[in-house]
Structure 1
Amino acid sequence: MPVVRTEKSTETMTLTFVAEFDHPPGEVWQVWADPRRLQRWWGPPTWPATVDRFEFEPGGAVRYHMTGPDGTKAHGWWQITDVREPARLEFDDGFAGDDGEPVDPEDITHITVGLEPAGAGTRMTTVATFRSARQLERLVEMGMEEGMRLAMGQIDEVLAGR
């Protein structure tokens, strides 16, 4: 599994994932920049994602939904805040209604993704910053930590073209 470390900090209100891949940063970047690749891993294996809207640029909107084993749909949104190919991506993430639009635009998690060379491969550090320790704990209780670990565990298959 590519996730080599996770760290939860209520002091800094962050949840950090460090993953390593046997591919250069430019290839790993594409799992974020290509909506068809993104939807192959964004979401745990039993909750696959479908990208409904994809504007991969600062100020751009991403809308997606994940479909559970029983057909239940969970909608989410991103607002892209920074794109520095192939090294850095930042976006705000939140829950969306059935229309794909934010349920509560203030209930966001800010995500920062950093890609850096690590030997012949890439180290991807993803930091989710929460508005409060309470929000962090609520999302961890909802399964965010395990869900992200499982989701990132699918990236190797995407990179291998399977």
Structure 2
Amino acid sequence: MTMPLTSVTKDAAKLTLTVVGDYPVPQQRLWDAFADPRQLERFWGPPTWPATFTRHDLRVGGRAEYFLSGQNGEMWSGSWKFTAVNPISSFEAHDGEDNAEDENMPSAMKFTFDATPTGSRLTIVTRFSSVEAMELAIPGMEEGLRAAMPQLDAVLAERGASAAHA
């Protein structure tokens, strides 16, 4: 099993957390995993907190709404408000918790999908509103991403062969 997360970089000066992952699939296939809520919910939450997307309107001004379910019935809701969408190459969104804007939540996230010689690269840059917000959010986010993102490998592998010939 390969570890797709190539790097997780914190930059306090720029108030960003950058996550990079490399995948042995075409750029379109990687994009499709994020554009399709049924695929996205299989890897967006950590294994112990699976995600369910109740809305996924991937267009400028559209929203995605989801919740993570804990093993003891706990629920945590989140949302993205899409501010830019460039099919197969990138999308940007404002992050919200409990489907409302929260000052301590990351202010913006940019997901970039690039073709590489071996497949494709996903870069997620999360921008925070302040150092305090960053320090509050990063430990949980980083742990969650490190737990959740390896699940993307399985999702991509599953339909990788058929998607490549579509």
Give the TM-score normalised by the residue count of structure 2. Answer: 0.89
Q: Secondary structure at the match of 1:148?
A: helix
| Contact 2:114–2:122 (8 Å) recurs in 1 | yes
Distance apart, 1:153 and its partner CA? 1.2
| Counterpart check, 1:135 vs 2:94 | no
Residue number among 60, 85, 93 corresponding to 2:62 in the alignment: 60
Note the 1:1-162 alignment, pairs <5 A.
1-96=3-98, 101-102=99-100, 104=102, 107-141=105-139, 143-161=140-158
4+ residue segments displaced more than 4 Å:
105-108
The residue type equivalent to 1:40 in the other structure is R
Distance apart, 1:106 and its partner CA? 8.1
Give the TM-score normalised by the residue count of structure 1. Answer: 0.91
5+ unaligned residues in a row in structure 1: which ranges? none
Distance apart, 1:46 and its partner CA? 0.7
Distance apart, 1:42 and its partner CA? 0.7
Distance apart, 1:105 and its partner CA? 7.0
Distance apart, 1:131 and its partner CA? 0.5
- Measured in 2, the distance between the counterparts of 1:145 and 1:104 equals 19
Partner deviation per Cα, 1:75-115 (whole Å, 9 max, x = no partner)? 0011011111111111111211xxxx316378443110111
| Overall identity of the aligned pairs, in % | 38
Partner deviation per Cα, 1:137-159 (whole Å, 9 max, x = no partner)? 00023x11111122111111111
5+ unaligned residues in a row in structure 2: which ranges? 160-166
